[in-house]
Amino acid sequence: MARRKRSRKSQTKPESDLLRPVGKTPGTVWLCLALLVLAGTAAYWNSFDGVFVYDDTKHVVRDAKRRAEQPFFHMLTARRPLVELSLAMNYQLAEKGPPTEEAPGGTMNPWGYHLFNLIVHLLAAMALFGVIRRTVQLADFNESLVESAHWFAAAATLLWLVHPLQTQSVTYVIQRGESMMGLFYLLTLYCLIRGASSARTRTWWYLAAVVACGLGTASKAVIVTAPLIIMLYDRIFLARSIESLLRKRAILYVGLVLVTVFFLRLTGVARGVLDPKIKGTPTVGFGYDGISPSDYLLTQAQVIPQYLKLSLWPRNQALDYQWPPVQDISNWPAQKFIVELALPGLLVLALLAATLLGLLKRPWLGFVGAWFFLILAPTSSFIPIKDPIYEHRMYLSLAAVVVLILAAIWWVAGRVSEHWVEVGSSKIHRNAALFCLVPALALTYLTHERNKVYFDPMVVWYDAVRNHPNNARAHNNLGKHLLDKHGKLVKKEKELAKTTLEEAIKHLKEAVRLDPKFLRAHYNLGNGLRANKELDAAIASYHEALKLDPRYIEARIMLGNAHTDRSVVLGGTSDPRGRAEMEKAEKTFRDALAKRRRREQPHLIARAHFNLGNTLTRLARIKDARDEYTKALEHNPTHFKSQYGIGLMSNRLGERRKAIEAYQKALKLNPNYFKAWYDLGEAYRATGQKDKAIDAYQSLVARRPRDTNALFKLGSLCAEVGRIGEAKASFERILKIRPDHVQAKRSLQQLNARQN
């Protein structure tokens, strides 16, 4: 792209005149924006079929109820306040189903969440189009390029918009933080450009830039590089010197820095990243002890070329790469060092050198390189992060790659127009833009296909395992989803359930083989082996998990359950060996409570108390069992099974009124808990309250109309109190369901004989 020479006259113009765009084509601009919206919608139309996957389960689904209940101002101190606010808004508007343990706020339809993400991405594309178009028009490029600025901007934005590398920021719900940050990053730069070229509304544009920067910081801290990028842009494209830049816009840059620092401190990100002595188990910053800053920097020498490869050839993508960190390079063989570190590192250094040289010789070219590296710097430099690579981190940096490729195409097109005079430069540039529709269509197809991975959490991990078979975390997550599937199939399709369980165990064993220190994989493998009745192997897996983390309460709970299962296999508490296993289970549950973390999740503490109560019940220690069920409710008041357990123990102790009260509370928490209806009916019957017992059985039958046992109890009670018609109706219903039901036949005959 040849730069046009400034005339002596133009050099004396005020900045607002110098920056006025060459030519105005509002119709073409609006057409380009409309086409971008249509292209983006087409590429992500099937993203609405996506579900909540991976971190969505925790940050979107499980935390939804917490967001809905907490005061608004609490969100301001979250790590990403604006993202929290957007998720809270989505939750209020979402169609919600009944609550579950995984979704205490109710199951949610993800459609609205995907719509929000797509809108943000489309708005970011519009902002990028505006930035590129005005940059071309305001800079000293040749006239033919300036005249086709809208075509260049539209082509670059289109390729950026529909690129499959963006799917992680758009289709993966929780990563909206990256696209929201990207939108405000671009708006900050756009407001600078508009302010610098507008004499009357300059102050308002600069104020909008500060606000956009603040909103971006409230979305994700990566925007911390925005003041530097914007100042660099200002110096290259707008101001004639640093002195001029500071004289005209010093207040703007002070505002950008202050609002960024304010939000970084308010959200605790600054301390969390910079303080090496921070408490807890951080996954990012100098307090993270999983990798040193120097090793992380070397790891990024491998990661950045991978980002470039995915930008140019987006194949073998994965939600999670689990990239191995570069460590102990002194022990590496020479060939491995050269191929896996030296060559990628030299490529990165060469690109950095080209960026610096470009800033000196061709500043616009250097700015594109700086855009790529500076936006990646917070996550791809020397600040340690548990996961060194994620595709969404390329959200904005991808624009630099696309612009460079388009610049090369435009340069070639310009040379063609110089050699073939009969072809006008503006026409050939328009044709170049049309040529970009071919790769855009290919990228749209790939994006459409990539979105399908998010239709099912299991497909996400099948995809990750297929593309990266050495990814232990992918094997573990796939195994966990297969275990969940087995649990749903076990009562319906036993053969398919068995095959699913075997596949789950295979992947979990592979996860443990790839990473012997993978705590969660040992735990999940134990669950799989326990489901497969391999109790000794399951107990061994739980012990391996507890070696890695003695305070892992879930592993101790499941270890206690495994001892309980072994007790049943050995004959229960009536057999000395079975009783010994049950006593081991009791000790394990007590250890789970004694060795738990101080801030353990309440529902896990409740589960430990509940399981301990079940164990004490089997050991015939009824009062102690009731005490444990009561403690479980203290930590999780909605745990209806503990409330039911209190009823059972009270009934065994002869305290019928307490039992009835407990059953009633259990049924308020879960009206479909059928065991409680049975026992409530029996408790009413035992206390002589037969009419109430009938009401209880009628409620049960209304929910389970083919439950012959409940119908028989209802008929028998109705017969006892003289409600003969209702009794006969119950017995007749039983015989329609089971014509061979002997007791119902006999009871019906007796009633008929009594009437005759």
pLDDT, one tens digit per residue, over 599-641 is: 888 989 999 999 999 999 999 999 999 999 999 999 999 999 9
pLDDT, one tens digit per residue, over 368-383 is: 999 999 999 999 999 9
| Domains assigned to the chain | 285-395 (no CATH), 705-756 (1.25.40.10)
- Residue 17 above 70 pLDDT? no
**Residue keyed to tokens 């979402």:** 94
pLDDT of 279 reads: 61
Q: Are 719 and 711 in contact (CB under 8 A)?
A: no
CB atoms within 10 A of CB 131: 22
pLDDT of 145 reads: 73
Task: Find all residues with CB under 8 Å of 177, minimum gap 6, and list them.
Answer: 80, 83, 219, 220
pLDDT of 49 reads: 94
pLDDT of 103 reads: 65
Q: Are 629 and 647 in contact (CB under 8 A)?
A: no
> pLDDT averaged over the chain?
90
pLDDT, one tens digit per residue, over 175-189 is: 999 999 999 999 999
Q: Phi-psi bin for 752: left (phi > 0), alpha (psi -120 to 50), beta?
A: alpha
Q: Are 370 and 282 in contact (CB under 8 A)?
A: no
Number of helices followed by number of strands (H, E) in the chain: 38, 0
pLDDT of 108 reads: 86
Q: Which residue has the higher pLDDT, 358 or 197?
A: 358
Q: What is the DSSP letter of 4?
A: P
Q: Which of 249-253, 267-271, 742-746 has the highest mean pLDDT?
A: 249-253
pLDDT of 27 reads: 82
The pair of structure tokens assigned to 96 is 């919600």
- Residue 4 above 50 pLDDT? no
DSSP bridge pairs for 108: 96
The pair of structure tokens assigned to 288 is 């993270």
Distances (CA, A) of 480 to 129, 487, 544, 607: 43, 11, 18, 20
**Helices within 94-223 (DSSP H only):** 111-138, 143-147, 149-162, 167-170, 176-196, 202-217
429 pLDDT band, cuts 50/70/90, is low
What crossing angle do the helices spanning 690-703 and 674-686 adopt, rounded to 10°? 160
Mean per-residue pLDDT, 339-347:
96
Coil vs helix vs strand at 567: helix
- Residue 14 above 50 pLDDT? no
Coil vs helix vs strand at 388: coil
**Residue keyed to tokens 């000794």:** 536
Q: Which residue has the higher pLDDT, 606 or 58?
A: 606
pLDDT, one tens digit per residue, over 120-176 is: 999 999 999 999 999 988 766 767 677 778 889 999 999 999 999 999 999 999 999
pLDDT of 8 reads: 36
**726 burial type by CB count under 10 A (0-12 exposed, 13-18 middle, 19+ buried):** middle
Please tell me the least confidently modeled range out of 68-72, 353-357, 514-518.
68-72
Mean per-residue pLDDT, 315-324:
93
- Residue 81 above 50 pLDDT? yes
- Residue 100 above 80 pLDDT? no
> Of all residues in the chain, what percent carry a pLDDT higher than 90?
74
Task: Find all residues with CB under 8 Å of 371, minimum gap 6, and list them.
Answer: 229, 396, 397, 399, 400
Coil vs helix vs strand at 63: coil
Please tell me the least confidently modeled range out of 14-28, 443-457, 513-527.
14-28
Best CA proximity match to 564, nearest among 542, 549, 544: 542
> Of all residues in the chain, what percent carry a pLDDT higher than 70?
92
**Pairwise CA distance, residues 460 & 475, whole Å:** 11
Q: Are 323 and 389 in contact (CB under 8 A)?
A: yes
pLDDT, one tens digit per residue, over 576-599 is: 999 999 999 999 999 999 999 888
What's the whole-model pTM score? Answer: 0.88
